[in-house]
Amino acid sequence: MKRRYAVVAGMAFAIPFGTALSTSQAFAAETAAASWATMDADADGALSPEEVMGTPWEATFDDMDSDGDGKVTKEEFQAYIEDMKASQDSDKE
């Protein structure tokens, strides 16, 4: 459990709640994707609002939950990460 909070604390530091994406946000998104098992505390294959409560992902939960079922699957999470990366890449151009 301590490891989960260390990852979340690192993400909280790296991901400000702005709309503009920074390099640190992209790095944090990659870190979050790599630590899926850590965030999915009950290992059901999806993130619930409770699992992201108090993390930077709490603010974007509804955006990540593309089908509106109240859970964010790994596929939804990865799609959200890819959208973040694509948005950042288009902002650089």
pLDDT on residue 34: 63
Q: Which parts of the chain fold into alpha helices (H)?
A: 2-14, 23-34, 36-39, 49-52, 61-64, 74-92
Q: Domain 2-92 maps to which CATH number in 1.10.238.10, 3.30.930.10, 3.40.50.1170, 3.10.450.50?
A: 1.10.238.10
Q: Is the pTM of this model over 0.85?
A: no
For range 58-84, the mean pLDDT: 93
Question: pLDDT averaged over the chain?
Answer: 75
Domain boundaries, the chain: 2-92
pLDDT on residue 47: 94
Confidence label for 14 from pLDDT (cuts 50, 70 and 90): very low
